[in-house]
Amino acid sequence: MTHAPAAAGRLARHQRALALGFVLALALAWFASVGHVPAYVLPPPGEVAAAVLAFASSAQRLPHLFATLAHIASAIVISFVLGALLAFAAHYARWSAPAIHQRMSPFLSAFSGIGWTLLAVIWFGVSSFTVVFTIVAVLLPFALVNLREGLLALDAELLEMGASFGRARWRSWRLLVAPALLPFAAATLRIMFGVAWKVTLTAELFGGGRGLGYVINIARQDYDTPTLFAVILFIIIAVTLADRLLFGPLERLTTRQFGGAR
């Protein structure tokens, strides 16, 4: 038993070293490509760094970053709430479970983000609503499926014990069910945040009038590859920081505090 933590620590260090080595190898390959690859195909790192600074200080382009963040945040909240409502409805009103889990969820999971984008453009035109609608349509199955698994994993004996002590249904849900679902909710938000970036760029590229996807589209038309790479770096940094500083710790905290309640 005493060797298990040490082995886990060594494995974690080896994984971090491997990840760092991979990133360094990519950086070295990028620097080595300077002068051998056309700049419009793979721009030099110096030009990309200048594009990042120009993007961060541009009064015209920086609002597109905030627009993308607003699209993602609002879509995650909407899809999580809708997914929770559907999961609870299927769990507590069993007659609705076949329609929700056997019809709606497979359909939403099978239909692609590009398909939703094209339909949303036809229905709502080029707008932020189109972008948010597309993201919600793609993220909704993630919330529905993960929260359903959380409900199915509830400890039946614990719930029966709570009922035997005469607790009201709402109090039992608040003290027993909600804490048990927190690890699943945190994991759901973590997954949805990563997927939302991919869907958002596609939706903004085809159906949005602003956002980082819109910037990528303009940069592509102008062959402005440094700006395109700058946007990619912004996305990598945003997703990595959010996962390391927010969603990862939140998932570990909820699992450690409430994981045993399942």
d(CA 130, CA 17): 42
At residue 262, the pLDDT reads 40
> Is there a contact between 59 and 122 (Cβ–Cβ < 8 Å)?
no
Greatest Cα pair distance, the chain, in angstroms, is 76
pLDDT of residue 35: 73
Q: What is the pLDDT of residue 164?
A: 62
pLDDT at 5: 64
| Residue-by-residue pLDDT tens, the chain, 262 positions | 455 666 666 777 777 788 788 888 888 887 887 777 777 778 888 888 888 888 878 777 788 888 999 999 999 999 999 999 999 898 888 888 888 888 888 888 888 888 888 999 999 988 889 999 999 999 999 999 998 888 887 766 666 666 665 556 666 677 777 788 888 889 999 999 989 998 998 898 888 788 888 888 888 888 888 888 888 888 888 888 888 888 888 888 888 877 654 4
Burial grade of 231 (CB within 10 A; 0-12, 13-18, 19 or more): buried
pLDDT at 9: 67
Three-state secondary structure call for residue 35: coil
- pLDDT at position 169 is 65
pTM: 0.83
Helix (H, G, I), strand (E, B) or coil at 34: strand
- Residue 51: predicted pLDDT: 85
Burial label for 179, CB within 10 Å (0-12, 13-18, 19+), is middle
